[in-house]
């Protein structure tokens, strides 16, 4: 009888472990599934250079498509206009959900977003994957990567657009939180303030496990990149509510 009970306990533990891993696997698969969203643009998202690389929709979805595509999008639509996107969805959170865009639909046009794949890493002897030697090096100058083309409903292709580099300056900003920018796990990665300033949240802020709402006050000082669509600040000093963080950059 004692042996039988021990066997039942062991079987129960194994079943529990298998169940936990199964649930984790399903959750991970769901969080990386393809999703389609449609909504109106509530705000553009900027990258650290001040270039448009995404948009927040009035549905709460945050679509990310990169700065090269963003240069095209910003020429075609403005805040309040409709946008549809399909891509890889992140986790949902109280702040929204990130969508890594593969295809955009704006104003009757289709934009296919092509993302660069990382180069395979060689070993310490300079060989490629699985010990293979890399291909002979071509010393000829390589052409710079081109932004994606836009295909409209007439099958015509628009000219590639290269976003200009935004100037950098030291800046300060004060305001309440309007939007929280999220990453793939739904975590807070940045803020858009009531004056439109976008602020990066460094790791020290992540680790503080702060929560945000439209009454959360923010004061920031740091290096800013400014463009026609707003400014992005990398903070050297950041006060959120009653907590102050200082960063050495």
pLDDT of residue 28: 45
Collect all residues with Cβ–Cβ distance below 8 Å to 45 and sequence separation of at least 6.
52, 53, 54, 55, 56, 62, 64, 181, 192, 198
Residue with tokens 């679509």: 63
The angle subtended at Cα 150 by Cα 164 and Cα 120, nearest 5°, is 75
- Tell me what pLDDT residue 143 has: 47
Give which of 93, 10, 81, 97 is closest to 43, Cα–Cα. Answer: 81
Predicted pLDDT at 131: 54
Dihedral over alpha carbons 54, 57, 63, 64 (to 10 degrees):
10
Contacts of 128 (CB under 8 A, 6+ apart): 120, 122, 134
Per-residue model confidence (pLDDT) at position 248: 80
Domain locations along the chain: 168-246
Q: What is the pLDDT of residue 84?
A: 97
pLDDT score for 186? 92
Instruction: For residue range 180-237, list pLDDT tens digits in order.
Output: 999 999 999 999 999 999 999 999 998 898 999 999 999 999 999 999 999 999 999 9
Q: How many other CB atoms are there within 10 angstroms of residue 104's CB atom?
A: 25
pLDDT at 19: 54
Report which of 190, 167, 186, 152 is spatially closest to residue 43, judged by C-alpha positions. Answer: 190
The yes/no answer on whether domain 168-246 falls in CATH 3.30.379.10 is no
Q: Where are the alpha helices (DSSP H) in the chain?
A: 2-31, 67-76, 203-207
Q: What is the pLDDT of residue 155?
A: 45
Low-confidence residues in the chain, pLDDT < 70: 1-32, 114-168, 249
Give the CA diameter of the chain.
79
């Amino acid at each position: 009888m004692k042996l039988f009970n021990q066997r039942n306990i062991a079987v129960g533990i194994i079943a529990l472990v298998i169940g936990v891993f199964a649930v984790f696997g399903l959750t991970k698969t769901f969080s990386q599934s393809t999703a389609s969203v449609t909504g109106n643009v509530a705000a553009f998202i900027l990258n650290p250079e001040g270039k448009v690389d995404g948009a927040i929709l009035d549905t709460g979805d945050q679509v990310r498509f990169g700065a090269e595509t963003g240069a095209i999008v910003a020429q075609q639509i403005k805040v309040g206009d409709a946008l549809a996107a399909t891509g890889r969805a992140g986790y949902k959170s109280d702040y929204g959900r990130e969508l890594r865009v593969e295809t955009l639909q704006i104003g009757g046009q289709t934009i296919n977003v092509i993302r660069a794949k990382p180069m395979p890493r060689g070993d310490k002897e300079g060989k490629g994957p699985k010990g293979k030697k890399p291909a002979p090096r071509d010393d000829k100058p390589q052409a710079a990567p081109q932004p994606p083309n836009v295909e409209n409903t007439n099958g015509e292709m628009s000219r590639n657009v290269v976003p200009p580099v935004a100037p950098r300056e030291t800046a300060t900003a004060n305001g309440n939180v309007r939007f929280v920018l999220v990453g793939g796990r739904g975590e807070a990665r940045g803020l858009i303030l009531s004056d439109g300033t976008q602020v990066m949240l460094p790791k020290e802020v992540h680790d503080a496990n702060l929560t945000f709402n439209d009454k959360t006050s923010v004061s920031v000082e740091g290096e800013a990149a400014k463009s026609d669509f707003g400014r992005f600040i990398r903070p050297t000093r950041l006060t959120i509510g009653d907590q102050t963080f200082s960063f050495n950059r």
